[in-house]
Amino acid sequence: MPAAKPLTAPRRRLLSRGDLPGSDGGLYNPGAWLDGGRIELVVRQEIDYRFTPIVHAERVVLDAATLSILGHNALVRRGYPDGARVEDCRPMRFRGETLCVHTLVHDGAIRPVLARLTDREIVYDGPIALPTEPTPIEKNWVLFEHGGELHCLYRLDPLTIFVRASGNRWRLCKRVDNGWGASFAGMLSNSANLVPFAGGHLGFWHSIVEGRYVQGAMRLDANLDLVCATGVLLDGRDATPGHKPGVLYVSALAVHGGRVLAFYGEGDAHAGVAAFDAIALEAELRRHPFVPREPLTVRLEPATMGELYRAMAGLGERAHGDPRPLWVHVPNRGLHEVVQRFGVRGLVVRDLTGRRQFDYDVGSLAGASTAARRS
């Protein structure tokens, strides 16, 4: 059979930097939700490129069929701490109201928080207190509804999903190692709130390749298992040059009229949309069933820094030609950050205490040399 043609989607500019007063720093990274025959966007509006706390969430209303702009207005902020920046709103409808997860930059931390939207206001609802240890910079947490409950997709590898329980407490409902991240030299991250699609939930993933953003689709089934993941569908090499070249960043999805609309920011300057045929996108997903990647395990207990360096160099060479994940057990916790700073593709530090056998055991100079030679 002939190979399937690459899936393409026509792209359309919706807003350009400077189209609205006070947008010399761009109009980009739109969040979106479907409201009958309209699509409501919340666009990040920057006054300039100093990235001060003066940043606005601009509501833009589109006709869902034609994507023409019906109106717009700035959302008034309520309840936010002084000096905080509101970035990259991802709204969704849930139980009759519009919730929004967005990044809050405040007091030296960058964290996703929850807000509520009206036609005129964005009201701060507080942090999303997931039961996990946050890093100083956290982004790209996305929301979706499943079984009538609000869920947060925290990470793609390991696939990590939390559900909001009573009292606004969050509990872990799924954590599955899949090795997907080892396929990328850089990060692998969520892009947009998930939307119902093909009996499950549709999302987009993104990574950075040679300085540009690349995007693809993924689907969770009714059991919240990752069952499909396409290759690159949108590539930052096709982005119009802006403040940041190579940035084409999907930030919202909507399904309407036989199309999957992937709204994106372009170059940290403009907002646009790619319109995928829904049937074709579903077929593309089915052509790419997700297959978990089994990890290689390593015990790393070097006697000297030289031994550590040689072991890491050997593991880096191995990872260059084999996109399997590397789980590295480092009993000396003081070395965890050092090991991660080597940037070995697919490497994660894991507590594998109690494991009896490892694929590689680096506890001496001879062991380090063995790790370097094996493939």
> Per residue in 244-275, pLDDT tens?
999 999 999 999 999 999 999 999 999 999 99
Q: For the chain, what is the mean pLDDT?
A: 91
| DSSP-derived secondary structure for 208-243 | EETTEEEEEEEEE-TTS-EEEE-S-SEEGGGSPP-S
Domain ranges in the chain are 11-286, 296-373
Q: At 368, is the pLDDT very low, low, confident or very high (cuts 50, 70, 90)?
A: very low
- Nearest-CA neighbor of 180 among 206, 198, 201, 142? 206
**pTM of model > 0.85:** yes
Two tokens, residue 352: 């594998």
CA-angle at 95, arms to 90 and 97, nearest 5°: 55
Taking the C-alpha atoms of residue 218 and residue 273, their distance in angstroms, rounded to an integer, is 18
Helix (H, G, I), strand (E, B) or coil at 267: coil
Query: How far from each other are the two terminal CA atoms of the chain, in whole angstroms?
Result: 35
11-286: what CATH class?
Answer: mainly beta
Of 86-90, 185-189, 312-316, highest mean pLDDT? 86-90
What is the phi/psi pair of residue 320, to 5°? -60, -35
